[in-house]
Amino acid sequence: MSIDGGIGNIQDVTGLALFLVSPEARWMTGTTNYINGGIVSTIN
């Protein structure tokens, strides 16, 4: 669930996925991309 109370779906991930397989992402290496609706949680 995101900050605004919505639940994510596949369309929320599509933009990043398409970018990562495009030539524009050729300089991205060793990154972690979080698609979490703005929620940051920790594991205790």
Residue 20 located in a structural domain:
yes
Report pLDDT digits (tens) over 1-44: 666 777 778 888 899 999 999 999 999 888 888 887 777 666 66
Q: Is residue 43 part of a domain?
A: no
- Range of the structural domain that residue 18 is part of: 1-25
Give how many domains the chain has, as a whole number: 1
Side chain identity at 3, as an amino acid letter? I
**Alpha helices, DSSP H, located in 1-44:** 10-20
Judge whether 41 lies within some domain.
no
Say what the pLDDT of residue 44 is: 62
Q: Residue 33 falls within a domain, yes or no? A: no
**Full-model pTM:** 0.62
What pLDDT, on a 0 to 100 scale, did the predictor assign at position 36?
78
Write down the pLDDT at residue 23: 96
Residue 11 maps to a domain: yes
Predicted pLDDT at 12 = 83
In a domain, 38, yes or no: no
The predicted pLDDT at position 43 comes to 65
Q: Which two tokens stand for residue 37?
A: 């609706």
Domain contains 1: yes
